[in-house]
Amino acid sequence: MKNIVLFGPPGAGKGTQAEVLKEKYQLVHLSTGDMFRYNIKNATELGVLAKSYMDKGHLVPDEVTIKMLNAEVEKNAGANGFIFDGFPRTEAQAASLAELMDSKDSQINAMVALEVDDEILVERLLKRGETSGRSDDADEGVIRNRIKVYYDETAILKDFYQAQDKYHGVDGVGTIEEITERLSAVIDTL
Ligand code: AMP
């Protein structure tokens, strides 16, 4: 079983690469951002709550995020492994994920991080906003806030996984195929 945390700032290409890698390695792709957007679309209670944070570029509180993620992992009990995309984003989430994996006699095998300069991220997200329909991609202020939240709250997780010798940084600039190759070079060693 391979469990991978696909990491990187907003706009780094995590979702795009996760879609390719899940087919290539037969893994289940779990994106907390997609789960929240699904709930928003269906106007659930969770969706209404999540939207109030997402529209400002803030993180949704750990408690609800962790509960939602755990339920999705449980739903996929027979999985060959998971690609976690957009989770964990805080130390509490990382600790909870380690506990969850442990309870399944499993573990996170690697954090693979897509590294992309901030100005390229802003440019990519504004461009995505033209077609994605995501309100958090449409406003440069919200985009910059999401990048700031990444550095303030999420980037520290590099240390968390590095301390376990599980961190792998990959250049996130290039064609989709080039980046898949770089990620695969790491995943194939796991
Ligand atoms: P993403 O699709 O990963 O860019 O996430 C979009 C938004 O959903 C983020 O800006 C957060 O508001 C929220 N979100 C997604 N994943 C998480 C998470 N693990 N913890 C807290 N908030 C999250």
Residue 7: strand, helix, or coil: strand
CATH at residue 139 = 3.40.50.300
- The answer to whether residue 124 is catalytic is no
> What does DSSP assign to residue 153?
I
- In the chain, the number of structural domains is 1
Q: Range of 55's domain?
A: 2-187
Q: What is the pLDDT of residues 93-131, one digit of tens each?
A: 999 999 999 999 999 999 999 999 999 999 999 999 999
Is residue 36 within 8 Å of 60, Cβ to Cβ? Answer: yes
From the list 56, 128, 158, 166, the catalytic residue is 128
* HSE, side-chain direction, 13 A CA sphere, residue 163: 5
Q: What is the pLDDT of residues 121-168, one digit of tens each?
A: 999 999 999 999 999 999 999 999 999 999 999 999 999 999 999 999
Has this prediction a pTM greater than 0.95? Answer: yes
- The answer to whether residue 14 is catalytic is yes
Query: Two tokens at 176?
Result: 């989709």
Distance 25 CA to ligand 1 centre (A): 24
